[in-house]
Chains A and B, each alone.
Chain A
Amino acid sequence: GQQVMQIPQYQHVQEGEDFTTYCNSSTTLSNIQWYKQRPGGHPVFLIQLVKSGEVKKQKRLTFQFGEAKKNSSLHITATQTTDVGTYFCAGRRFEGGSNYKLTFGKGTLLTVNP
C-alpha cells in the first residue's frame, strides 16, 4: 500500500538555526498537506501543496512539493522556541470515484534550545 516516509524522526536545534523535514511517498500524490502538533495538543493544518514543483511560504516556513509529486519538504529559517512540536506531512492519493486516501508520515519532533 501507499507509504509516506518522513525523516528525520527527531531534530534538536539551537534557537536561530534552520530546520528541515522531508517526506517521500512510494506513489505519486494528488496533493500533500503539512500539520503541526504542539506538545499536548492536536494536529493543526499548516498548508496544502497541489502543483508539481510548488513552493509556498508562510513567514519563516517554506514548503516545497517535488516535480514528480512524490516528495515534499518543510524548511524553517531561524527557528524560535515557538516552533517546538511535531510536524507531520500527509499525502493524498486519489483512488477513483469519490475515494481518496490520506496517509500521514510518522512526523518529525522538533525541539529548540533557547
Chain B
Amino acid sequence: DVKVTQSSRYLVKRTGEKVFLECVQDMDHENMFWYRQDPGLGLRLIYFSYDVKMKEKGDIPEGYSVSREKKERFSLILESASTNQTSMYLCASIRGGGPPNTGELFFGEGSRLTVL
C-alpha cells in the first residue's frame, strides 16, 4: 500500500515556539504539498515542492517555511507559532510527470496542531 506518513497526529505548542511537522512518502513521488484545513475554509495550500531542495509558495505561505532535503521527506516549519496557526495540517504527494499532470493526491492522516 502506498503511504504518506505524518509524524505527529496531535501537537500542543505554546505561542512563540518553533514547530516542525514532518511528512514522509514511500511512493517515490516528485511533488509534495502542505495544506491546512479549517472549518468553512476547506483546504488551503501553504507550500509545495516539485523536487528535492525546490519549493514554491502556495496561497497562504505567511508564517511558514518548508524544507525538502530528501525526495521522500517534506517538512513544514512554523518559526514562531501563533494562535491563528491552530489548525489541521495535511501533507500530500503526487507523482510528477509531463504536463498536464493528471495524478491523484495521496494525503497523510493529518496533524492537528493547537497553539496556546
* Residue positions of A touching B, CB distance < 8 A: 1, 6, 9, 30-31, 33, 35, 41-45, 48, 50, 88, 90, 92, 94, 96-100, 102, 104-107
Contacts and interface: CB of A to CB of B under 8 A. Distances in A.
A64 to B, nearest CB: 18
Given A88-B43, A90-B105, 4 more contacts: A30-B102, A42-B107, A45-B104, A88-B42
25 contacts: A1-B59, A30-B102, A31-B102, A33-B105, A41-B109, A42-B108, A43-B43, A43-B90, A43-B105, A43-B107, A45-B106, A48-B104, A50-B102, A88-B42, A88-B43, A92-B100, A92-B102, A94-B99, A96-B99, A98-B98, A104-B35, A104-B42, A104-B43, A106-B41, A107-B42
Interface residues of B, number: 23
Contacts, number: 58
Interface of B: 35, 40-45, 50, 59, 90, 96, 98-102, 104-110
